[in-house]
Structure 1
């Protein structure tokens, strides 16, 4: 692998050649890219590592709503052209969440506090335009796996995935002031003023205690990669 940095961000690798650009452009002209074109909404918020909540990151979620109860989101560390794909989040309605087994529910976090407090924003979209959708998202739950821990300086997506949790009103789940200030200044907005405009937003009728599991139990979740015996390969006839 080349040791020089590419022209985009801090990711190792050589810059794209003219041939690479031509091949990419040709593919773009010939292929539909239909799943990619379904991402219609950009959300900027924050996430904390389940196993170490001192580590907090700004995240950029690009939302595709498959139906009224389910959304899927690639997550980036920024919204510029050098943004790195750091994970994926799935978002489900409270109706789908309540149907999950209890052990599965423990892996999911609520969105109500993020939205109510003004941490969750749609950059460059007026609050009056965004708010009707926020009423819906405030009643949802998310499961976010981070696959590239750029905040610790990883130049490549190495190691095991990390489960992320959402900011909450509890002390351990509060977003650090400098991180929030940096985000607000970047988009010329005030999370405090946005929060004041969201006083009438309500969350799920019933807040399931299995979500945001750490609040009640003080425990997060982490993945260990284990060596496993491969299943015997059945030869083709």
Structure 2
């Protein structure tokens, strides 16, 4: 069955280099419908996305694979944020996953087995890998100080770096870059990013839960296998 750490079997849409999946151009009717929806529908969840953060991520099962990611952030409350993650920030940017971000207080309430799936944001922020494109550095410093104390869980649903023209296979768990050999981002990848790399002086957190970034302590990543299972049927009505 499909696994997040294995490439799917060859398909007619696998391995291409086009910027978007092959398809017919949008019709006039589709354009009219989309414009009308923007006027008549609220689209409230999307309008809550108030920040754009650009950073990098590595695959939990293969640290040699690294990608640049663009996270569009919606703040639910002081302890919880959610992000739609895109491969690029242009109008045809492909949605490749979702990240959830929690405060250190919320993270400490999670079971130990769950904590292993999360990573700490401190190194991303302090190293300047995580940036807010086109936003003045000093104005964003308070937000960076908050992000440096948070934990993230990022599921990649489209492994676009291996050439998939559509989201194929199982989702992959992603990890945050770290200042250790296995987790360091390629300098070439950083230099390719259009956004200028910067560093804002952020205080080092006093303590980081060792269950986060589990691979650093144990050299173990996580992957998903899709397996067949019996369907649980609804109980018959009395």
- Give the CA deviation at 1:26: 1.4
2:76 alignment partner in structure 1: 66
- Specify which of 57, 60, 69 is matched with residue 50 of structure 1: 60
CA RMSD of aligned residues (A): 1.6
Matching residue of 2:221: 220
Counterparts of 1:214 and 1:70, CA distance in 2:
24
For residues 45 and 202 of structure 1, what CA distance do their matches in structure 2 show?
Answer: 20
Q: Show the counterpart of 1:118.
A: 128
Check if 1:232 corresponds to 2:227.
Answer: no
**Structure with higher RCO (Cα < 8 A, 6+ apart):** 2
How does 1:151-170 map onto structure 2 within 5 Å? 151-170=161-180
Unaligned runs of 5+ in 1: none
Runs of 4+ in 1 over 3 A off after TM superposition: 234-237
TM-score using structure 2 length: 0.90
Residue 128 of structure 1 corresponds to 138
CA distance in 1, matches of 2:58, 2:139: 28
Structure 1 residue 204, shift from structure 2 partner: 3.6
Question: Between Structure 1 and Structure 2, how many residues are aligned?
Answer: 223
Among 162, 165, 181, the residue aligned to 2:191 = 181
> Contact between 1:91 and 1:140, CA under 8 Å: does it hold in 2?
yes
Q: Which ranges of structure 2 fall in alignment gaps of 5 or more residues?
A: 1-11
Instruction: Report the TM-score when normalising by structure 1.
Output: 0.90
Query: Cα–Cα, structure 1 residues 203 and 95, in superposed 2: closer, same or farther, change >3 Å?
Result: farther
2:77 is the alignment partner of 1:86: no
Deviations 1:179-227 (A, max 9, x none): 00001xx12x2x2xx22x32xx124432111000000000000000010
2:86 is aligned to 76
- Residues 94 and 204, structure 1, Cα contact 8 Å, conserved in 2: no
1:28 and 2:49 aligned = no
* Residue 106, structure 1, aligned to residue 106, structure 2: no
- Distance across 2 between alignment mates of 1:98 and 1:148: 30
Give the drift of 1:161: 0.3
Paired residues of 1:139 and 1:202 also in contact (CA < 8 A):
no
